[in-house]
Structure formats: C-alpha cells, structure tokens
C-alpha cells in the first residue's frame, strides 16, 4: 500500500473516532470507550503526519554551519561600553548605597512570608492528654478495662478530643506477666492495659499494624517495628526512639484514665526536642 | 399372580435400598444437612485432630489446647482449610481448599464448641451500612489488609491475607477470634456486619477506571507507567525517528 | 493572508531562516520532545481539572453517588475530585489521563536526561542548558508531589506527613519552616489550598518559562549530532525545521497524546474513593508515593536508625536520608558539566556527541549514580515485594541495605571495564583494516587518525 493510502486510512479512522467521541459524550459517556476513541482520533492524525513526513517529503539531508557563539572582542567591548556608561560606573559610593537599599527593601518585602505560619512554640512538646482524662474510642465512648479483651487493640483519644492527631493513642491489652516495661513504669499499665502514642517517632505516620503473637507494632511507611512488651522500643527499621508511653490507671467506675501527658514529645524528632524548658508559646 | 409377586419383590428390594436415604434426600436429590452433632464430631476429632490437639482438645506436643476456641474459631479454621495443617506448625497457615465436607465441618464445630466456652458463630447481616463499613474498614483493616483488601506483608514473615474469598461469616469470625497474628476487633454486632458488607462490596464491585493493575497502589502503577507508557513512547520515537527510505522501509 | 501579518510584523526573513534551520535526525533526540508533549497533555487536561477542583480543606459531608462514602466527613477538595470522577462527564478519563501523563512525563525527563548525560551533550557550550534542565526536573518533581496531594486522600496525605517530618528534621530552622509551609502543626486545613496555588499558578509559570528558555538556548546553539559522514564539530547535518521536523514532531505529539489517552481510559490509576479521605489517625498499607518520589521513600526505609545528639542538638533520623543526601545528589548532578570539565581539562566547544564507550569515566560514574537511584526507588516497594515474593520484609530490607552500598560501585567498575574493552576492539578493528598495527589518535572531530611514524 502506498504512503498516500496509509495516510488516507489513518485520517479516516481518526475522523470516525472523533465523531464517535461526540456521540459517546452525548449518550452519557463511558471512561473506557472515551479513552479508546480518543486514542484512535489522536493516533490516526499523528500517524498520518508521521507517514507524510517520512514518505512524501524530500529525504536529502542538509547541512548548516555552526560558528562559535562567542562574539568578537570588539563587539564585547562595545556591548560593555553600552551597558555601563561612565555616568553610572563612576559613582561607586552611590552604587553601593543603592545595592544596600535594594537588599534592605528585599528583606522588608520578604518578611510578610512569616505570616504563612505560626511559631512552633510549645506545640510540638505537648498533646491534648492530661491527668484525669478518660480514654475514649473513636466513637467517643469511654473504655472500661472489663470490656477490653486480651490481644485486643484500639485507637483511643482523650475525652473531648476524638480524632486529635497528636493525641492519638494505641491501647493494647496483654498478659500482665508478659510485660517488661522500663523502670518506674510498673504502674503505668493496669491489668495489662498498655498505651502508646500512635504517631511513629521516625516520620510521623500512624503506627497502624499490630502483630498480636509477636506483640509488635509495625509502621507501614518505612517498616519501623516496636516491641509492645518492652515499652515500644524499636526493634527494626529506621525509628530510633520508642513510642512514648501514656501512663494509665483505672478510676472508681472501672474506666481507664490517663494520669498525665506523654513524658516526651510524640512523633518525629526535631533539633531542640531535648530543650523543652526553652520553648515558649 | 407370579408377576404381581415379582413386582412386589422388586418394590420391596427397592424400598429396602431406598428407605434409609428417604429421610436425608431433599427435593433436588442432595443429601440434606443436619445441625452439627458433637458425637459424630468427636469421632472425626479423634481421627483427624487429636494427634496434635490432644484428647478433648487439651493440647499436645505439636498443637495448642483448643478447649476455649469455640465454634467461631473451629468454623473459621475448618472452612478456610487452614486446619488440618499441611505444613509443619510454626509457619503461618494460609487458606486452602477445606479438607472436610460441610456436614463434617458442622459436626467438628459442634464438638469443639462443647469442649469449653469459646465464642459462638456470630450472626452477620449483609446490606448493612456500606458507609459505616468503609469507615471501620479503613480505620481497622486497611493498615494490614490493604485499602482494597488485596493483602499485605506485616513484618516478621507474617502475611495479612487477601480478602477476596472471605465470606461475611468468615470475616465476622476472624474479627472475634483474632487468629494468629491478627488482633481481636470485638466491635458490636452491627459494626461487624457493616465491615462484612463493605468487604463483600470490594469483592464484587468493578473498578470504574478500567483495569485495576493489582489494586495495590503506586508500585504497579509506576511499573506500568514505565514499561507500558514510556516503553510504547520510546518505540514510537524509534519508529518516527528512523530514516525509513534509507533503511528500505 | 500571510501578507497581512508581514505588513504588520515583518517576519518574512526570520521565517525564511528559521523555517530552514537544520535539526539532526536521530530517534534518541526525540526523547526530550516526548517529555514536552507529556507536558502539553498535562496542561490541557489540567485546565479541565482546575475548572472542577475545589482547593478547600474544610470538612463537608459527602452525599454523592459513591455509596461507601455516603455520609462520611471528607474535605471539600476530596469531594470535588469524587464529583469530577463520578458525576462529571469525561471527568474520570481526564483525571486518569492527567495522572498517567504525570508518571510518563517524569519517566521521559529521566530518559532524556540520561541520553544527554551518556552522550556528553552537556559539554561546553551547553552547560547552561543542563542547569536549566536540572531546574526543570526539580520543578517537575514539585509539580508531581503537589499534584497528587491535591485530592487530600489517605495515601497522599500520609505522604505529606512524611514531607512535613522531613522539613521538621532540619536543624535550627526545621520546626519554623514546617509550620510556615503548612500554616501550623500538621495536619492543617490550609495546606491543600497552598499546594493548589503552587501546582496551578507558580510552578507552571516557572516550568513554562524554563521550557521556553531550554528551547531558546537549544535553538540558538543548534542541536548536537552523532559523528558520521559529513559531520564535524563545526556543522549540523539533518533535516529542515519546516516541513520535515515540524510534521514529524507534531505527529509524535499526537501519538504521545494517543498513548496517554489509551492508558487514561483503560487503566485505573489512583482510585481515591477506595483509599478514603485523609485522616491523620489512620493509614493504609502498602504506603508509597508516585514512582518519581520513590527514591526518597526508599532512602527513608533503608537508612539505618541513626539519630545523634551533638552539643544538645538532635539530628533527627530522617534528616540525612531525606534532606542531606538528596541535596548533595542534586548539587552534584547540577554541577556535573563543570566537574567533568575540570577532570578532563576539556575546554573546547563540542558539536559532536560521544558514544558512552568513548568516555569510560563519565559512563562509569553515571551508571553508579543510576544504579544507586534505581535501588532506592525499588526499595520504596519493599513491602509489596515481600508479599509478591513471599519473603519477610525485614530480610528484603537488609538485603537492599547491603545492595545499595555494594552494587553501585560494582556496576560502575563493570561499566568502565566494558567501555575500555569496546574501545580496544574499535581500535583493533580500525587497525585491522589497514593490516598490521598503526598508532591512532583521536582528532577534534571525534574520529581516529593515524599518527605518521
């Protein structure tokens, strides 16, 4: 088949497909049909052009000279003369003062960029947890120890702050005898109910996976793994700090309550995190 | 007279053969199923399960005690074919064709349920709220099983299996018993039904955008973008760019 | 008709010279054009999407036709993308074409950049255009990241969380910078509208300006060419701009658009209705960004736990893999033409390209860098690979940690040896034609010439 015939066929397909597209749209549209018709409409036209270029045009290669682009020295000197006439270059002091003024103005104009966001202050050092806050589930209902089965895991929040991103906490029930918490935390996990911040200490993703038999919390983003029985210390992956633990106790009605906020900042590290005392709001 | 006697004899023989099955044949000719019988279950258990799980499910060297496993656990393990194990204990058991027929499963389940007070088989209703189901699924199930239920690696060599074959009953059972590495998600009954409904929706809905390429997100999309997209375009560049006349094309 | 324009603009002589401008013919020279055509598709489909997208992070209730989301709290932005996908005619196909075009755009830029690198096209006088090109790559990456975060779904929102944490990890300025960019502590409702301004206004303006600069410099300096008969360092041999190159390129543009349209219609991409709206308290697995950010995610997965505290200042663990290494890599990439000129003492203008074998050191270093990048990108899918190959993800991660250190230098060394071997064979073949041995020297045109004994 000659090139002309191919081009005719390609353009024919293209026209039919374009009409088909209009019809499909008017009939209500369908993603797969639209995609295929669009492909034929575009492709037919494209193929026609390419075949035209390949077969019907003159095939002789042509040549063009390439000269070095650098201008001759005389032209450069003339250009420099035009760019910096004596009236400007002579006034050294004024030029320097002008440069200083422009820099100062630039700084002044840039400063409103600070309106884009507030100062961090103490925001990274605290969450919505405080002593006496009851643990509630995502539905807002407080959690009773008796209702929490062994090997159950739940996401909990301080009462009144359901959905709080930095207060999100994992509540897990294990056998009390299996726990090997760090010193001083023996009373943080009543009846085997242990709570850790859900915000990964590596890059802040919620640590959403729990392997019940291994008592291991896994973060899906970069696979940091934390040992629930030993205070959520990292056992694999790029996280270096354990998940902060929330101290718990049980109130008179059998509900779980926090006895304070987390002891260290939740989530990923930042440069001055060991200087909580210096941060001001 | 002789013909009548022959007919009566034939009828009698047929009746003797056919009678025992009369009570167990339904309209289509399939054997009718009865509720599980703990006695029949015990016989099956002694043969198929006691070697590992011990007499009366009290545990043995190669299998844990299952006295408090309950009907839910037994039903899950037997129906998904995880039990009896086909591989050495220690590796995560995965779904395979069940080793027992329906009646045998019911009998075994009844027997295991009688061993202690584990959870019973839950009631599940489909057509419960899809929206509540999706909310719960995304919050509780998607981290391990994937947003589309395609399954995922959860570390430590464990797999959260794909959910494409899980019936609503199986879904409800696993949430209650938390088999293996899976924790327990003891949500109220209507929430369990909602999750099961959503999983059924995932199993049966057609992807609106076309072919879903494995349904696990940007990784297969990236491969397709490179091999299909860039591959086709590089080929086109080659076809467009070469000098066809010199090459005799 | 053309006279009407010429009466007013006087373009005839420019048209005469411009339209006859010679461009060399080789299919690898079309790879940059493919990137450009992907950009055109992105622009056109993007305009359509912009008319329907609502850049607002305020929570609203979804009440549209997708039942599983009915009644759920989502952001207005997320809802607008769902409307576009399910209630606007041709909306879903436009959205999918746009997203596939973005993936292929960055693949085409990568392939084009590799072609420029391995053929030495960036050498003097084209160092400037290389710098513009690296700038375009950076802008394209930023466009991709801001773009896929606009729907405010669970997957892209998780990605934003990681970027926020990477910003947070910068010593001294981290927390201020992160709060400035996001408008407060993560998550904020304003981030989506800010990303929109970048994605639809600021970045496209810079990208278009950069592309025009890139093309203008190319036009002025003329395109490079492969060595061959009649080709020297002082000419360019090929076909004229009009009609030959224009027809071919326009045809290729339509064919590129056709491929993208086919993908957008037949292959589902980014089903945000299944991921669900962004919620800071949950995450779905597997969690990956689009492929062109994979190297960053892979670096974060592979880098071992290392968080020193120096003089009371914590260097957070994401800082080195997430900020320092990428900054260093891009700096080296950008400065490469100058680094190579220093190493080779090559100050000449070049019009002819080199085959990779003719520059063994450059090719070896390039392969080392490319291998490093590829392993990092594959590492971002380590959890997916764990499911597919049924290998524990920890084993895979540790294997990749070893690979990232061992494989790139080995690949570079292998490349160097292969280049030298291929060159040796070229010399032998040239000598063999004359019979006996000859002493050969490379001349300025890139060919070999005998040294008179």
How many helices (H) and strands (E) are present in chain A, helices listed first? Answer: 5, 12
Q: Residue B244 above 80 pLDDT?
A: no
Contact C265 A275 (CB under 8 A): no
Closest residue of A to C162, CA-based? Answer: A203
Residue A183 corresponds to which tokens in the numbers above?
């010193």
Check whether residue B111 and residue B133 sit in a common domain.
Answer: no
Per-residue pLDDT of B107-133, as tens digits, reads: 888 888 888 888 888 888 777 789 999
Q: Give pLDDT tens digits along chain A (281 positions).
A: 688 899 999 999 999 999 999 999 999 888 999 999 999 999 999 999 999 888 877 767 788 887 878 888 888 888 888 888 777 777 888 889 999 999 999 999 999 999 998 999 899 999 999 999 999 999 999 999 998 988 889 999 999 999 999 999 999 999 999 999 999 998 999 999 999 999 999 999 999 899 999 999 999 999 999 999 999 999 999 999 999 999 999 999 999 999 999 999 999 999 998 887 777 66
Per-residue pLDDT of B119-174, as tens digits, reads: 888 888 777 789 999 999 999 999 999 999 999 999 988 999 999 999 999 999 99
CB proximity under 8 Å: A 21-50 to B? 31-32, 35, 50
Distance from CA of C32 to the nearest CA of A (A): 17
User: Chain A residues with CB inside 8 Å of B210's CB?
Assistant: 31-32, 35
Flag whether A130 is in a domain.
yes
Per-residue pLDDT of B184-215, as tens digits, reads: 998 888 899 999 999 999 999 999 999 988 78
What is the pLDDT, as a whole number, of residue B247? 46
Inter-chain contacts counted by CB atoms under 8 A, chains A and B: 68
Let me know if A264 is exposed, middle or buried by CB neighbors in 10 A (0-12, 13-18, 19+): middle
What is the pLDDT, as a whole number, of residue B68? 85
Beta bridge partners of A216: A211, A227
| B22 CB within 8 Å of a chain A CB | no
Check whether residue A134 and residue A38 sit in a common domain.
Answer: no
| Confidence at B249, pLDDT banded by 50, 70, 90 | very low
| C187 CB within 8 Å of a chain A CB | yes
Contact B184 A212 (CB under 8 A): yes
Looking at residues C339-359, what average pLDDT do you find? 92
Check whether residue A45 and residue A135 sit in a common domain.
Answer: no
Flag whether A111 is in a domain.
no
Closest residue of B to A47, CA-based? Answer: B240
Contact B221 C256 (CB under 8 A): no
Query: In terms of residue numbers, what domain contains A48?
Result: 3-56
Contact C301 A222 (CB under 8 A): yes
Phi, psi of C58 (to 5 degrees): -70, 140
As for how many domains chain A has, the answer is: 2
Q: Please state, rounded to an integer, the average pLDDT across all residues of chain B.
A: 84
Mapped to the 3 state alphabet, what secondary structure does chain C carry? CHHHHHHHHCCHHHHHHHHCCEECCCHHHHHHHHHHHHHHHHHHHHHHHHCCCCCCCCEEECCCCCHHHCCCEEEHHHHHHHHHHHCCCCHHHHHHHHHHHHHHHHHHHHHHHHHHHHCCCCCCCCHHHHHHHHHHHHHHHHHHHHHHHCCCEHHHHHHHHHHHHHHHCCCCCHHHHHHHHHCCCCCCCCHHHHHHHHHHHHHHHHHHHHHHHHHHHHHHHCCCECCCCCCCCCEEEEEEHHHHHHHHHHHHHHHHHHHHHHHHHHECCCCHHHHCECCCCCCCCCCCCCHHHHHHHHHHHHCCCCCCEECCEECCCCHHHHHHHHHHHHHHHHHHHHHHHHHHCCCCCCCECCCHHHCHHHHHHHHHHHHHHHHHHHHCCHHHHHHHHCCCHHHHHHHHHHHHHHHHHHHHHHHHHHHHHHHHHHHHHHHHHHCCCCCEEECCCCCEEECCC
Looking at residues C143-172, what average pLDDT do you find? 96
Check whether residue B39 and residue B113 sit in a common domain.
Answer: yes
Task: Closest CB to B154: pick one of A155, A206, A211.
Answer: A211
Contact C316 A31 (CB under 8 A): no
Flag whether B190 is in a domain.
yes
**ipTM reported for the complex, 2 dp:** 0.91
Q: Residue B28 above 70 pLDDT?
A: no
Domain end, chosen from A56, A71, A86, is at: A56
Check whether residue B126 and residue B115 sit in a common domain.
Answer: no
User: Chain B residues with CB inside 8 Å of A52's CB?
Assistant: none
User: Chain A residues with CB inside 8 Å of C241's CB?
Assistant: none
Closest residue of A to B136, CA-based? Answer: A138
User: Chain C residues with CB inside 8 Å of A54's CB?
Assistant: 248
Flag whether A86 is in a domain.
no
Q: What is the CATH number of the domain that holds B57?
A: 1.10.760.10
Residues in chain B: 249
Check whether residue A135 and residue A239 sit in a common domain.
Answer: yes
- For the entire predicted model, the pTM comes to 0.90
What is the pLDDT, as a whole number, of residue B8? 65
| C191 CB within 8 Å of a chain A CB | no
Looking at residues C141-169, what average pLDDT do you find? 96
Q: Residue C440 above 90 pLDDT?
A: no
| C387 CB within 8 Å of a chain B CB | yes
Per-residue pLDDT of C188-237, as tens digits, reads: 999 999 999 999 999 999 999 999 999 999 999 989 999 888 888 888 88
Q: Which of B35-49, B214-228, C116-130 has the lowest mean pLDDT?
A: B35-49
Flag whether A190 is in a domain.
yes
Looking at residues C352-368, what average pLDDT do you find? 94
For tokens 């085409």, name the residue.
C108
Check whether residue B93 and residue B126 sit in a common domain.
Answer: no
Task: Closest CB to C247: pick one of A53, A198, A241.
Answer: A53
Flag whether A85 is in a domain.
no
What is the pLDDT, as a whole number, of residue B30? 55
Flag whether A175 is in a domain.
yes
Check whether residue A242 and residue A146 sit in a common domain.
Answer: yes
Residue A199: strand, helix, or coil: strand
Inter-chain contacts counted by CB atoms under 8 A, chains A and C: 270
Task: Closest CB to C267: pick one of B139, B144, B211.
Answer: B211
Check whether residue B130 and residue B196 sit in a common domain.
Answer: yes
Q: Residue B234 above 90 pLDDT?
A: yes
Check whether residue A25 and residue A158 sit in a common domain.
Answer: no
What is the pLDDT, as a whole number, of residue B189? 87
Check whether residue A258 and residue A130 sit in a common domain.
Answer: yes
Contact A223 C397 (CB under 8 A): yes
| HSE, side-chain direction, 13 A CA sphere, residue B167 | 10
| C228 CB within 8 Å of a chain B CB | no
Distance from CA of C216 to the nearest CA of A (A): 14
Contact A165 C281 (CB under 8 A): yes
Per-residue pLDDT of C87-105, as tens digits, reads: 999 999 999 999 999 999 9
Flag whether B10 is in a domain.
no
Domain end, chosen from B78, B97, B119, is at: B119
User: Chain A residues with CB inside 8 Å of B70's CB?
Assistant: none
Flag whether B83 is in a domain.
yes
Q: Residue C288 above 90 pLDDT?
A: yes
Query: In terms of residue numbers, what domain contains B173?
Result: 122-207
Phi, psi of C41 (to 5 degrees): -60, -40
Contact B146 C96 (CB under 8 A): no
User: Chain C residues with CB inside 8 Å of A66's CB?
Assistant: 222, 233-236, 351
Check whether residue A142 and residue A35 sit in a common domain.
Answer: no
CA–centroid distance for B207 within its chain: 23
Q: Please state, rounded to an integer, the average pLDDT across all residues of chain C.
A: 93
| C270 CB within 8 Å of a chain B CB | yes
C331 versus B21: the higher-pLDDT residue is C331
Task: Closest CB to B178: pick one of A31, A151, A214.
Answer: A151
Contact C158 A205 (CB under 8 A): yes
Domain end, chosen from B93, B119, B145, is at: B119
Check whether residue B66 and residue B142 sit in a common domain.
Answer: no
Domains delineated in chain C: 24-301 (1.20.810.10)
Distance from CA of B201 to the nearest CA of C (A): 9
User: Chain A residues with CB inside 8 Å of B237's CB?
Assistant: none
Check whether residue A259 and residue A129 sit in a common domain.
Answer: yes
What is the pLDDT, as a whole number, of residue C436? 58
As for how many domains chain B has, the answer is: 2
Which of A31, A213, A222, A238 should one mutate to test binding to chain B, selecting the residue with the greatest count of B CBs within 10 A?
A213
CB C152 within 8 A of CB C397: no
| B147 CB within 8 Å of a chain C CB | yes
CB A189 within 8 A of CB A255: no
Q: What is the DSSP code (8-state) at residue A253?
A: T
Looking at residues C303-317, what average pLDDT do you find? 93
Phi, psi of A145 (to 5 degrees): -60, -40
Distance from CA of B156 to the nearest CA of A (A): 8
CB proximity under 8 Å: B 198-227 to A? 208-210
Q: Which of C46, C37, C141, C44 is nearest to C84 (CA)?
A: C46
Flag whether A45 is in a domain.
yes
Flag whether A150 is in a domain.
yes
Q: What is the CATH number of the domain that holds A172?
A: 2.102.10.10
For tokens 């043995």, name the residue.
B60
| C239 CB within 8 Å of a chain A CB | yes
Ranked by mean pLDDT, which of B5-19, B47-61, C127-141 comes out on top? Answer: C127-141
Residue C308 corresponds to which tokens in the numbers above?
């020193």
| A54 CB within 8 Å of a chain C CB | yes
CB atoms within 10 A of CB C200: 20
Q: Which of B96, B92, B97 is nearest to B153 (CA)?
A: B92
Beta bridge partners of A91: none
Domain end, chosen from A56, A82, A101, is at: A56
Check whether residue B141 and residue B130 sit in a common domain.
Answer: yes
Task: Closest CB to B152: pick one of C251, C269, C285.
Answer: C285
Residue B1: strand, helix, or coil: coil
Looking at residues C333-345, what average pLDDT do you find? 95
Let me know if A88 is exposed, middle or buried by CB neighbors in 10 A (0-12, 13-18, 19+): exposed
Distance from CA of C316 to the nearest CA of A (A): 5
Per-residue pLDDT of C223-263, as tens digits, reads: 999 988 888 888 888 888 888 888 899 999 999 999 999 99
Q: Which of A202-216, B40-54, C145-159 has the lowest mean pLDDT?
A: B40-54
Flag whether B235 is in a domain.
no
What Cα–Cα distance (Å) separates residue B120 from each residue in B15, B43, B84?
A: 41, 21, 20
Q: Which of A123, B138, A35, A60 is nearest to C282 (CA)?
A: B138
Q: Residue B24 above 50 pLDDT?
A: no
Check whether residue B115 and residue B38 sit in a common domain.
Answer: yes
């Amino acid at each position: 088949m000659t090139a002309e015939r191919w081009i005719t066929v390609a353009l024919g397909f293209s026209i039919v497909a374009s009409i088909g597209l209009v019809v499909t749209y008017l009939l209500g549209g369908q993603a797969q049909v639209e995609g295929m018709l669009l492909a034929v409409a575009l492709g037919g036209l494209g193929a026609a052009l390419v075949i035209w270029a390949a077969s019907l045009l003159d095939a002789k290669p042509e040549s063009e000279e390439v000269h070095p682009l650098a201008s001759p020295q005389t032209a450069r000197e003339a250009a420099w003369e035009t760019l910096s006439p004596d009236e400007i270059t002579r006034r050294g002091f004024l030029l320097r003062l002008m440069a200083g003024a422009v820099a100062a103005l630039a700084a002044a104009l840039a400063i409103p960029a600070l309106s884009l966001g507030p100062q961090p202050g103490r925001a990274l050092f605290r969450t919505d947890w405080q002593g006496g806050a009851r643990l509630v589930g995502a539905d807002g209902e407080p959690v009773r120890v008796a209702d929490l089965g062994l090997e159950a895991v739940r996401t909990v929040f301080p009462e009144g702050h359901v959905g709080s991103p930095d207060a999100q906490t994992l509540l897990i029930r294990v056998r009390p005898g299996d726990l090997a918490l760090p010193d001083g935390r023996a009373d943080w996990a009543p009846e085997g109910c242990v709570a850790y911040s859900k915000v990964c200490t590596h890059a802040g993703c919620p640590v959403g996976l729990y392997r019940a038999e291994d008592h291991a919390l896994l973060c899906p983003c970069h696979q940091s793994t934390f040992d629930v029985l030993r205070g959520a210390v990292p056992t694999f992956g790029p996280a270096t700090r354990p998940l902060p633990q929330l101290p718990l106790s049980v109130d008179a009605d059998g509900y779980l309550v926090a006895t304070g906020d987390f002891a260290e900042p939740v989530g990923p590290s930042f440069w001055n995190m060991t200087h909580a005392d210096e941060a001001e709001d | 007279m002789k013909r009548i006697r022959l007919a009566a004899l034939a009828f009698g023989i047929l009746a003797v053969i056919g009678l025992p099955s009369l009570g167990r044949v339904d309209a289509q000719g399939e054997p009718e199923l009865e509720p599980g019988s703990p006695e029949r279950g015990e016989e099956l258990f002694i043969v198929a399960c006691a070697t590992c799980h011990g007499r009366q499910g009290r545990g043995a060297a190669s299998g844990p005690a299952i006295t408090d496993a309950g009907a839910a656990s037994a039903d899950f393990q037997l129906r998904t074919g995880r039990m009896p194990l086909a591989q050495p204990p220690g590796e995560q058991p995965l779904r395979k064709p069940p080793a027992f027929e329906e009646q045998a499963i019911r009998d075994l389940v009844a027997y295991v349920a009688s061993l202690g007070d584990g959870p019973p088989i839950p009631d599940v209703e489909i057509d419960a709220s899809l929206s509540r189901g999706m909310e719960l699924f995304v919050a509780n199930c998607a981290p391990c099983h994937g947003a589309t239920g395609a399954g995922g690696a959860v570390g430590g060599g464990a797999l959260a299996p794909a959910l494409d074959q899980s019936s609503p009953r199986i879904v409800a059972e696993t949430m209650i018993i938390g088999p293996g590495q899976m924790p327990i998600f003891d949500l109220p009954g209507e929430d369990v039904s909602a999750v099961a409904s959503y999983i059924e929706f995932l199993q049966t809905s057609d992807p609106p955008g076309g072919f879903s390429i494995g349904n696990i997100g940007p990784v297969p999309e990236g491969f397709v973008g490179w091999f299909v997209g860039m591959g086709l375009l590089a080929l086109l560049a080659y076809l467009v760019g070469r000098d066809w006349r010199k090459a005799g094309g | 008709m053309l006279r009407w324009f010429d009466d007013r603009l006087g373009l005839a002589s420019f048209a005469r010279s411009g339209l006859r401008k010679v461009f060399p013919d080789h299919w690898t020279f079309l790879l940059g054009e493919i990137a450009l055509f992907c950009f055109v598709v992105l622009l056109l489909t993007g305009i359509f999407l912009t008319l329907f997208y609502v850049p607002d992070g305020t929570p609203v209730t979804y009440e549209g036709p997708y039942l599983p989301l009915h009644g759920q709290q989502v952001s207005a932005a997320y809802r607008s993308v769902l409307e576009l996908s399910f209630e606007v005619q041709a909306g879903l196909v436009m959205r999918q074409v746009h997203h596939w075009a973005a993936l292929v755009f960055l693949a085409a830029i990568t392939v084009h950049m590799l072609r420029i690198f391995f053929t030495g096209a960036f050498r003097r006088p084209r160092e400037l255009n290389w710098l513009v090109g690296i700038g375009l790559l950076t802008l394209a990456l930023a466009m991709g990241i801001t773009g896929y975060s606009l729907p405010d779904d669970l997957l892209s929102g998780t990605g934003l969380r990681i970027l926020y944490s990477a910003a947070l990890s910068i010593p001294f300025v981290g927390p201020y910078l992160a709060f400035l960019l996001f408008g407060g502590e993560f998550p904020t409702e304003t981030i989506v509208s800010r990303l929109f301004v970048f994605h639809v206004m600021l970045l496209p303006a810079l990208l278009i300006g950069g592309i025009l600069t890139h093309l203008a410099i190319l036009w002025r300096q003329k395109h490079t060419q492969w060595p061959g008969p009649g080709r020297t360092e002082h000419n360019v041999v090929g076909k004229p701009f009009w009609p030959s190159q224009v027809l071919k390129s326009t045809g290729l543009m339509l064919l590129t658009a056709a491929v993208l349209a086919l993908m957008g219609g037949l292959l589902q991409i980014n089903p945000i209705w299944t991921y669900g709206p962004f919620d800071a308290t949950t995450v779905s697995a597997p969690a990956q960004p689009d492929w062109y950010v994979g190297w960053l995610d892979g670096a974060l997965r592979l880098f071992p736990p290392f968080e020193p505290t120096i003089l009371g200042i914590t260097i957070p663990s994401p800082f080195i893999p997430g900020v320092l290494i990428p900054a260093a890599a891009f700096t080296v990439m950008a400065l490469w033409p100058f680094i190579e000129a220093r190493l080779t003492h090559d100050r000449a203008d070049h019009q002819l390209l080199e085959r990779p074998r003719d520059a063994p050191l450059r090719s070896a270093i390039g392969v080392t860098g490319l291998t490093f990048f590829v392993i990092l990108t594959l590492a971002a899918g380590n959890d997916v690979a764990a499911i597919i190959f049924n290998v524990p993800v920890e084993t895979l991660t540790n294997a990749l940690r070893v690979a990232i250190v061992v494989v790139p230098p080995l690949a570079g060394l292998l490349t160097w040896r292969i280049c030298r071997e291929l060159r040796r064979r070229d010399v032998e073949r040239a000598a063999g034609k004359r019979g006996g041995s000859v002493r050969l020297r490379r001349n300025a045109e890139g060919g070999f010439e005998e040294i008179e004994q």
